A and B are shown apart, each in its own frame.
Chain A
Amino acid sequence: GENVEQHPSTLSVQEGDSAVIKCTYSDSASNYFPWYKQELGKRPQLIIDIRSNVGEKKDQRIAVTLNKTAKHFSLHITETQPEDSAVYFCAANRYSTLTFGKGTMLLVSP
């Protein structure tokens, strides 16, 4: 089956800095890569996603890049704000099954 590794497990930044979270996947059949943000005790919420025929996608302060050859994808958050503090999960979709990374706890200090 698919295996998704996510790093780092925790990330502390100052407000206004950029944050980068990286994931690798193992199965070349995976073709869809969503990122979810989860606040404490809440549901995971999709923040951005990318499909395997695209190398990069941006949505305001958030961007995701995908390198299919190396089987890795990354989340970039610019101009971080305290409300960006949460746990971020990457995932890889293979035949409609999502495999999640272990999550990154992002802490943004004012």
Chain B
Amino acid sequence: DSGVTQTPKHLITATGQRVTLRCSPRSGDLSVYWYQQSLDQGLQFLIQYYNGEERAKGNILERFSAQQFPDLHSELNLSSLELGDSALYFCASSVATGQETQYFGPGTRLLVL
């Protein structure tokens, strides 16, 4: 157990819908990262928040957005869902930002039908 929690574990929804994934970092960690893992694209970095502020952006679609709240938990919002958005979404956290180890949560498996 890494100490990073994610809810829900599984999510099944329809195309065009909107979902919210939630992540709580390890106690004391200020950075939260979101990743998408699919069979064809591998593990792809989406976005990082550090102490409430967006810090880095990766291959995140405009239909996706995220935020980090004052209690440091983070939410990833996915809207206008398409079949291709079906994937495992991982959240990771680290103490700060830079060369710190990132600890991954258990992931949310999203299936868009």
The interface of chain A, by Cβ under 8 A from chain B, is: 31-32, 34, 36, 42-46, 49, 51, 89, 93, 95-103
Contact = CB atoms under 8 A, between A and B. Distances in A.
Contacts of B31: 96
A71 to B, nearest CB: 17
Contacts of A101: 42
A46 B92 CA distance: 11
B101 interface: yes
Give the dominant DSSP class at A's interface.
strand
Contacts of A102: 42
Contacts, number: 51
24 contacts: A32-B98, A32-B99, A42-B106, A43-B105, A44-B43, A44-B90, A44-B104, A46-B101, A46-B102, A49-B101, A51-B99, A89-B42, A96-B31, A96-B100, A97-B45, A97-B58, A98-B33, A98-B45, A98-B102, A100-B42, A100-B43, A101-B42, A102-B42, A103-B42
A95 B97 CA distance: 8
Given A46-B101, A49-B101, A51-B99, A99 B45 contact: yes
Nearest to A1: B58
A46 B103 contact: yes
Given A43-B106, A96-B55, A96-B100, 10 more contacts: A31-B99, A44-B43, A46-B101, A49-B101, A51-B99, A95-B56, A96-B94, A96-B97, A100-B45, A102-B42
Interface of B: 2, 31, 33, 42-45, 48, 55-56, 58, 90, 94, 97-107
